[in-house]
Structure 1
Amino acid sequence: MRVLLTGSSGWLGRTLAPLLANSGHAVTGLDVVPGAHTQVVGTVADRALVERAMGEHGIEAVIHGGALHKPDIARYPRQAFVDVNVTGTLNLIEAAAAAGNDRFLFTSTTSLMVRADVRQGAGEAGAWWMDEDFGPLEPRNIYGITKLAAEQALKLVHREHGINVAILRTGRFFPEDDDTHASPSGENLKANELLNRRLTVEDAASAHLAALAAAPAIGCDTFVLSAPPPFAREETEELARDARAVIARHHPDAAELYAAKGWVLPATIERVYVPSRAERRFGWRAESDFGSVLAALREGGPLPFAHDPDYTSPIVRQEREACMC
């Protein structure tokens, strides 16, 4: 299948493009920044560019992974988020529908599910249990607002034209340090997040590959993507007040392994992303989870996730290099 992949120079795109190619797909990458997997340099906000790329490369399916993200809020005005995340998404799916494509994948984000009250901590019943039915959705920043608006635009075009749409709300998979959490930080924080809100970039890529194949059977649906949590919904109240006790029930040696590493387990867990619909509907389940972290600590092997505190996105690197000229 001839696939247009946006965001092909980014963290996910660099992993997903070769995975698609190795699975027999012909991939055309589109990104604002040149890269090894990018053949078309430009923005999805440029309708003429999108239509030209679709026609010249005979595109049969679109995976829209390009976007302005939460860290970009400090660098770009809100209008830029609307132009790229909303208008760009609409440009792509309308071009795909006009070309007769039967499937469209959208890389969305669990961030749009984080309302102000979720951000402040656990709810009255304990940790928030956040599956695809969680609501109401009231995103707290322009990033979440525009991603949610893009989701709604995709659903509209699906209703009008019948193109199959898979919306993939990914949990965290970035390699750099978190820009809001100081302690724990680095690898310790990423390991903790595999309990409830993170997946590896490799698993994010494999989810897109599986959803691409299953899109005609999906129709139009939304999926939370994260490592499978070890917890049950009945444990949410306890997670919010004593997460370490709950973790110990599921992973009795976690505290000892963490202590040997000099790490700390989370004292509380205030939200849990639940990816079970993806497993039910298109057979995807993350290969790496918190158990994978503990296995690596036991065996002295490499951790299952990437951690690079010096990582910067391609567009930021490009801007820095331009400023140095």
Structure 2
Amino acid sequence: MRVLLTGSTGWLGRYLAPMLRARGHEVTGLDVAPGSDTQVVGSVADRALVERTMLSHGIEGVIHAAALHKPDIIRHPRQAFIDINATGTLNLLEQAVAAGVDRFVFTSTTSLMITQAIRDETATEAVWLDEDSGPLAPRNIYGVTKRAAEEVCRLVHAETGLPIVILRTARFFPEDDDTHRDLSGENMKANEFLNRRLTVEDCAAAHVAALEKAPAIGFGTYLVSAPTPFARSDAAELKRDARAVIARYFPDGADLYAARGWHLPDSIGRVYDAARIEVDLGFRCATDFAAILSALRDGRPMPFEHDAGYVSPALQDGF
């Protein structure tokens, strides 16, 4: 299949493009920054460029991973988020329909599910989040424009029948968190595999699965995160004493962490439940918290990427 991959030079794109080619797909990359997997340099906000790319490369499927992200809020005005995240998605969808594309995968984010109250952890128990959670009230322009793009996807599918799969991805960035400094970046990432993270490799694999299953799905929205070990019945205790809950599931976890000089979370305020994508698409992330502890137990490197100094290629190019 001839696939248009937007965001091909970015963190996800550098893993996704080779994975698509390994599955026998012909990949055309589009990104604002040049790269080895990017054949077209430009923005999805450029409607004429999107049209030319679709037609000249005979595109049959689209994976739309390009976006401005939360850290970009300090660098770009709100209008840029609207132009790229919302209007850019509309451009791709409408030109995909015009070009006869038969499937479309949109990279969304779990961030749009996090209200200010959820972020502030005001609830008395951990908030259990899945595709039915709501009402949605994104707390910043990133989440607002991703939510708008999801609604554009829904509308275009309803009007044209274009098969579309939306993937609300949990965290998979390699750099340190831009708001929390109480733990080392690697320790924090390891903890998040309990409730809100996945590897970039698993994220890429989810996109490949979505591309291949989109015609059978028709339209679907899926949360993508490492499978949580917890049950909904753990929610109250997770907020009150997460370490006790973790100890029941992983009796040697505290000792393994202590040997590394790491700390388990005292409290967990939210849990992402990615069960639906496993049922509908047959996809399950390969790396979970058990894999983290296995690596600690065996003295192997962590099974996830951590690069505190990572800078996106777009930022390096001054975009």
TM-score (normalised: structure 2):
0.99
Q: Deviations over 1:238-278 (max 9, x none)?
A: 00010000000000000000000000000000000111110
Count of aligned positions: 319
Q: Deviations over 1:203-247 (max 9, x none)?
A: 000000111111011111100000000000000000001000000
- What letter matches 2:138 in structure 1? P
Aligned-pair CA distance for 1:122: 4.8
Q: Which residue of 2 aligns with 1:105?
A: 105
Q: Which residue of 1 aligns with 2:277?
A: 278
Q: Which residue of 1 aligns with 2:62?
A: 62
Q: Which residue of 1 aligns with 2:236?
A: 237
Q: Which residue of 2 aligns with 1:323?
A: none
Q: Deviations over 1:12-60 (max 9, x none)?
A: 0000000000100000000000001000000000000000000000000
Q: Which residue of 1 aligns with 2:49?
A: 49
Aligned equivalents of 1:271, 1:8: Cα separation in 2: 31
Aligned equivalents of 1:188, 1:302: Cα separation in 2: 13
Aligned equivalents of 1:223, 1:123: Cα separation in 2: 24
Aligned-pair CA distance for 1:98: 1.0
- What letter matches 2:23 in structure 1? S
1:312 corresponds to 2:317: no
Q: Secondary structure at the match of 1:319?
A: coil
Q: Which residue of 1 aligns with 2:260?
A: 261
Q: Deviations over 1:71-108 (max 9, x none)?
A: 00000000000000000000001111111112100000
1:95 corresponds to 2:129: no
Aligned-pair CA distance for 1:284: 0.5
Aligned equivalents of 2:273, 2:215: Cα separation in 1: 23
TM-score (normalised: structure 1):
0.97
Residues 122 and 128 of structure 1 are in contact (CA less than 8 Å); yes or no, is this contact kept in structure 2? no
- What letter matches 2:16 in structure 1? L
Q: Which residue of 1 aligns with 2:189?
A: 190
Percent of residue pairs identical: 65
Q: Which runs of 4+ in 1 moved over 4 A?
A: none
Aligned equivalents of 1:38, 1:115: Cα separation in 2: 35
Aligned equivalents of 2:215, 2:8: Cα separation in 1: 24
Q: Secondary structure at the match of 1:140?
A: coil
Aligned equivalents of 2:245, 2:217: Cα separation in 1: 35
Matches within 5 A, 1:38-187: 38-124=38-124, 126-187=125-186
1:287 corresponds to 2:286: yes
Aligned equivalents of 1:186, 1:141: Cα separation in 2: 23
Aligned-pair CA distance for 1:178: 0.5
Q: Secondary structure at the match of 2:106?
A: strand
Aligned equivalents of 1:127, 1:68: Cα separation in 2: 29
Q: Which residue of 2 aligns with 1:2?
A: 2
Q: Secondary structure at the match of 1:11?
A: coil
Structure 1 stretches lacking a partner, 5+ long: 321-325
- What letter matches 1:151 in structure 2? E
Q: Deviations over 1:152-201 (max 9, x none)?
A: 00100000000001000000000000000101121000000000000000
Q: Secondary structure at the match of 1:134?
A: coil
Q: Which residue of 1 aligns with 2:207?
A: 208
Q: Secondary structure at the match of 2:317?
A: helix
- What letter matches 1:232 in structure 2? A
Aligned equivalents of 1:92, 1:319: Cα separation in 2: 24
- What letter matches 1:266 in structure 2? P
Q: Deviations over 1:101-158 (max 9, x none)?
A: 121000000000000110110524x100000000000000000000000000010000
Aligned equivalents of 1:225, 1:42: Cα separation in 2: 28
Q: Secondary structure at the match of 1:20?
A: helix
Residues 224 and 278 of structure 1 are in contact (CA less than 8 Å); yes or no, is this contact kept in structure 2? yes
Q: Secondary structure at the match of 2:318?
A: helix
Q: Deviations over 1:261-304 (max 9, x none)?
A: 00000000000011111000001100001000000000001101
Aligned equivalents of 1:220, 1:261: Cα separation in 2: 44
Q: Which residue of 2 aligns with 1:300?
A: 299
Matches within 5 A, 1:215-230: 215-230=214-229
Q: Secondary structure at the match of 2:12?
A: helix
- What letter matches 1:2 in structure 2? R
Residues 7 and 29 of structure 1 are in contact (CA less than 8 Å); yes or no, is this contact kept in structure 2? yes
Aligned equivalents of 2:217, 2:248: Cα separation in 1: 36
